Chain A
Amino acid sequence: MKNSIGREIPDELLAGGREIFRGNNHRDGYGYTKAGPKVRAAVKPQESKVVPTLRAAIEACGLRSGMTVSFHHHFRDGDYVVNMVMREIEAMGIRDITIAASSVGSAHDPVAAMIESGVVTGLQTSGIRGRMGEVVSHGKLATPAVIRSHGGRVRAIEMGEVHIDVAFIGAPSCDEFGNARGKGGKSDCGVLSYAMVDAKYADRVVVITDTLVPFPNFPPSIESVDVDCVVVVDEIGNAKKIASQAIRISQDPRELKMASDCARVMAALPYFKDGFSFQTGAGGPSLAVNRFIEPVMRERGIKMKWALGGITKPTVELLERGLIECIVDTQDFDTDAVASVHENRNHYEISTSQYANPMNKGAFVNKLDFAILAALEIDTDFNVNVVTGSDGVLRGAPGGHPDASAGAKCTIIVTPLVRGRIPTVCDRVVTVTTPGESVDVLVTDYGIAVNPSRPDIARALDEARIAHTTIEALRDRAYGMVGVPDEIAFGDHVVAIVEARDGTILDVVWQVEAHDA
């Protein structure tokens, strides 16, 4: 059955009550009862929840084959927690596990073998990369992976579509009672926004830390009232990879040109006024937009009220220079962002539900003026793909992309027209991760295109004498340079379901054959 963006969704996926995507706001007003965890009360006063080993924690939580475990990805490529827990689970002979992570990445290559051996049979995540992306794309996972945006994951948990049996929450610091924070340890990640929903909705919650601090570890991101046990390990991750050195703005002239053009587009729109709000990706050109809006803000004497999402040094600098009133933070990418959320009283941590859950009573993304984001591919319907490569293999993450772009008044995609021999602007993206209705403007190194659904933006650009063209013209330009790519030879087996934010099916990812390198 075709959904509203023309993607064919196999009927067998709709058997269990799943629905096809019918537009961003189709489920507005939908009523539901929130799920709740099965709680094992800790009535008797106790000194400590610390258990001696990870295995003891897993046993105490009663983890069995067939259950679902969860993880967060605040430690990014520096994470040791997922591999540590999964190796223990494997060693205990437990099988048929579903991993429900906020995201997994190339740090988790060892889990790929557990997918092949059947220890892991389900995967629910935002990102899939590296070896895991390959084995899933090659059809080795027993059930289709479910790919969700950050907001969509929280929604699925709060609505009970994903039930977490045991949440394993890595924390830079934790006290003996389970109050955990993203700071105060050996490898701080700043905030624990992604893990908050896990703590509230999982039946059992295990905090894993390498820095046990005196009670109370306050104010906690993860509260002791939700924590069953605490495990102390040598290292939760590689500090250098958890928070990288200050992410610097690109010096690449092409990225800077696109960032500069993006800032000109922003400055030409009515939303660019005192008190505006803004979210930008951490990638080269979108990040560099921070630098180009600063002089325009100074010239016009305006300030940003709040910046949202994943935070890096350039945003922190705007806060420190008084050009942003506050930062509302769900993830920290570099040491400067981590330091700022610890020290700056105008830099706040929020939960991912507050950030982006489309089915609560209104998330922060809905109040965004601008979202500046990247794309692996964008097609002539302005649908964006950030999850599959040009070979059809899973190698990315929707992250907050679908959330911020659905919420923002103006979403600008900044991307080069071609990457090597790959056209970025194309007839039809391999996989839709953000529907075109969420996307308003495309800025490439070869020109700017406005979504025809936004004639108001096109008029504003005309008035500001900013040249723009059609997305079809940009596609033709790209194809003219690098040629029209051949269709990918997919198999007939669905390896992943891409859920829209509201839980309907936006697209599916088909199996691709492994190529012998």
Chain B
Amino acid sequence: MSAEKRSEKNRLRRTMLFLSAQRPSLMKDAYVFGPDSVIFDLEDAVAESEKDAARFSLYHILRRVDYGNVERIVRINGLDTPHWREDVRVCVAGGADGIRIAKCETADDVRAVERAVCEAEAEFGVGQGRTLLMAAIESPRGVLNAVPICESSERLFGVAISGGDFRKCMQTKYYPSGVEMLVARGQILLAARAAGVQCFDTVFTDLDDMEGFRAEVVQNKEMGFDGKSVVNPRQIGIVHEIFTPTAREIREAERVVRAIRENADKGVGIFQLDGKMLDVAFLPGAERTLALAKASGMYEGDL
């Protein structure tokens, strides 16, 4: 029903909730939990023998369930499997907003999926360019290729680091400090910011350790991530709470946006506000703060 709704490249994505495409009971209404995006998973969550059935369920969910403002992304199977091309066709035919490419290692991986998406869009009469892409980087090679991956496609809205496989490749495991992921997180953040795309952190799987989860999300925010993949609806509230700007940050952002706009109208490019030098470069950051505040119901102003 929403096949031709515009997908939005730079929308707010604080939380991306993973849902198994093998579980229609979960997919039917996961929007009630209020994530910014959901990721219907055709890859690891679906048994090898159930890929077809999962695609079938997924297609009907995409076509029939109104997810409202919640973005619907699909994680397709890896490019080294026989499944991914059919996965792409289902995503495009169903009208998914985006595709998450698992185990992405090179820019060519993204371009291969992009070609398949183009073909499917033509095949199903879906607007060219509607289906967005994101790349999950899960290996050392992927991390080292983060810049070309981030710059590989106009459709690519962001990259995510995926910790499970990456930690194994690096012969380490989860540590509460996050030191084992520090370089990878930093590297893909740098690449994403350089390319002007979004950047998302990996899942946190221990549902009994909500304090550890909270600490990791705080670190994510401090490092500059746009959001985080989550595996359980119980994690959504915590991410949104931490990514929500404080009342003071909101007030400041509002003043900055107003001041820049007013000065721009007067033809002034650089000026002082409360002793700080401001110019148009501060605008996107302040606008992002207000967008986050609006999404969390903390800001009802007109900016």
User: How far is A110 from B300 in the complex, measured between Cα atoms in Å?
Assistant: 62
Residues of chain A in range 380-432 having any CB-CB distance to chain B below 8 Å:
none
| Interface assignment of B263: CB less than 8 Å from any CB of chain A | no
Q: Which B residues from 219 to 254 make CB contacts under 8 A with A?
A: 232-234, 237
- A260 contacts B32, C-beta separation under 8 Å: no
Interface residues in A, total, Cβ within 8 A: 10
B27 CB to nearest A CB, Å: 13
Question: What residue in chain A is nearest B237 (Cβ atoms)?
Answer: A260
Chain A interface helix/strand/loop/mixed: helix
Distance (Å) between the CB of B18 and the closest chain A CB?
Answer: 13
> Does B124 interact with chain A (Cβ within 8 Å)?
no
Q: Which of B248-272 contact A (CB under 8 A)?
A: none
Known: A257-B32, A257-B33. Contact between A465 and B233, CB under 8 A? no
Chain B contacts with A in 192-241, Cβ cutoff 8 A: 207, 232-234, 237
A476 within 8 A of B: no
**Once the chains bind, are B237 and A253 in contact (CB under 8 Å)?**
no
A contact residues around B32 at 8 Å (CB): 254, 257, 445-446
In the assembled complex, how far is the CB of residue B60 from the closest CB belonging to chain A, in whole angstroms? 14
Tell yes or no: A50 within 8 A of B by CB: no
Q: Which residues on B sit within 8 Å (CB–CB) of A508?
A: none
Give the docked Cα–Cα distance between A481 and B297 (Å). Answer: 28
CB distance from A288 to the nearest CB of B (A): 11
Q: Does A449 contact B (CB under 8 A)?
A: no
Most buried by B among A253, A257, A445: A253
A465 x B297 contact (CB < 8 A): yes
- Min CB gap A160→B, angstroms: 50
Q: Is the CB of A253 within 8 A of B297?
A: no
Q: A465 CA to B294 CA in the complex, in Å? A: 12
Interface residues of A in 439-464 (CB under 8 A from B): 445-446
CA distance A481 to B32 in the complex (A): 14
CB within 8 Å of A: which B1-40 residues: 28-29, 32-33
In the complex, which residues 165-217 of chain A have their Cβ closer than 8 Å to any Cβ of chain B? none
Cα separation A39 to B54 with both chains bound (whole Å): 71
A243: interface (CB < 8 Å): no
In the complex, A260→B28 CA distance in Å?
A: 21
The chain B residue sitting closest to A466, CB to CB, is B297
For the complex, is A265 an interface residue (Cβ under 8 Å from B)? no
Task: Tell whether, in the assembled complex, residue B233 and residue A257 are in contact, meaning their CB atoms are under 8 Å apart.
Answer: yes
Interface assignment of A256: CB less than 8 Å from any CB of chain B: yes
A256→B33 CA distance, assembly (Å): 10
The answer for the CA separation of A253 and B31 in the assembled complex, in Å, is: 12
- Of residues 92 through 116 on chain B, the ones whose CB sits less than 8 Å from some CB of chain A are none
Q: Give 15 CB contacts A-B under 8 Å.
A: A251-B234, A253-B33, A253-B232, A253-B234, A254-B32, A254-B33, A254-B233, A256-B233, A257-B33, A445-B29, A446-B29, A446-B32, A465-B297, A481-B28, A481-B29
- Beyond A251-B234, A253-B234, A254-B233: 13 further Cβ-contacts under 8 Å? A251-B207, A253-B232, A253-B233, A256-B233, A256-B234, A257-B33, A257-B233, A445-B29, A445-B32, A446-B29, A446-B32, A465-B297, A481-B28
